Amino acid sequence: AQKITQTQPGMFVQEKEAVTLDCTYDTSDPSYGLFWYKQPSSGEMIFLIYQGSYDQQNATEGRYSLNFQKARKSANLVISASQLGDSAMYFCAMRGTQISSGSARQLTFGSGTQLTVLP
Amino acid sequence: GAGVSQSPSNKVTEKGKDVELRCDPISGHTALYWYRQRLGQGLEFLIYFQGNSAPDKSGLPSDRFSAERTGESVSTLTIQRTQQEDSAVYLCASSPTTLAANTGELFFGEGSRLTVL
Contacts of B110 in chain A (CB under 8 A): 42-44
Answer yes or no: are the C-beta atoms of A8 and A90 closer than 8 Å.
no
Residue B54 has pLDDT above 80, yes or no: yes
Nearest-angstrom CA–CA distance, B106 and A42: 18
Which chain B residue has its CA at the smallest distance from A91's CA? B42
**What residues contact B99, with CB distance under 8 A and at least 6 apart?**
A99, A104
Residues on chain A touching B56 (C-beta within 8 angstroms)? 102, 105-106
Closest partner residue to A105 among B43, B56, B89, by Cβ?
Answer: B56
What pLDDT shows up at residue A103? 64
pLDDT, residue B100, reads 47
Distance from the Cα of A91 to chain B's closest Cα (Å) equals: 7
Q: What is the pLDDT of residue B98?
A: 53
Whether the CA torsion A114, A117, B3, B7 is positive or negative: it is positive
Q: Contact A104/B111, CB-based, under 8 Å?
A: no
Reported as a single tens digit per residue, the pLDDT across A66-113 is 999 999 999 999 999 999 999 999 999 998 776 666 666 678 899 999
Cβ atoms of residues A51 and A77 within 8 Å: no
- Torsion sign across C-alpha atoms B75, B100, A76, A49: negative
Which residues between 42 and 101 in chain B have a beta carbon less than 8 angstroms from any beta carbon of chain A?
Answer: 42-43, 45, 48, 50, 56, 58-59, 89, 91, 93, 98-101
| pLDDT value, residue B104 | 60
Per-residue pLDDT reduced to its tens digit, B75-107: 999 999 999 999 999 999 998 865 444 456 788
pLDDT at B42: 87
User: Per-residue pLDDT averaged across A12-34, rounded?
Assistant: 94
Cβ atoms of A8 and A75 within 8 Å: the answer is no
Neighboring chain A residues of B105 at a CB cutoff of 8 Å:
35, 37, 47, 50
Q: Check CB contact of A5 with chain B, cutoff 8 Å.
A: no
3-state secondary structure of A84: helix
Residues of A in contact with B67 (CB under 8 A): none
HSE-up of B32 (CA within 13 Å, CB side)?
A: 32
Mean pLDDT of chain A: 91
Question: What number is the average pLDDT over the span B3-11?
Answer: 95
Total Cβ atoms within 10 A of residue A108: 23
Per-residue model confidence as pLDDT tens digits over B19-53: 999 999 998 888 899 999 998 888 999 999 988 88
pLDDT value at position B52? 82
The pLDDT tens digits for B65-77 are 999 998 778 999 9
**What percent of chain A shows pLDDT beyond 70?**
92
In this prediction, residue B101 carries a pLDDT of 43
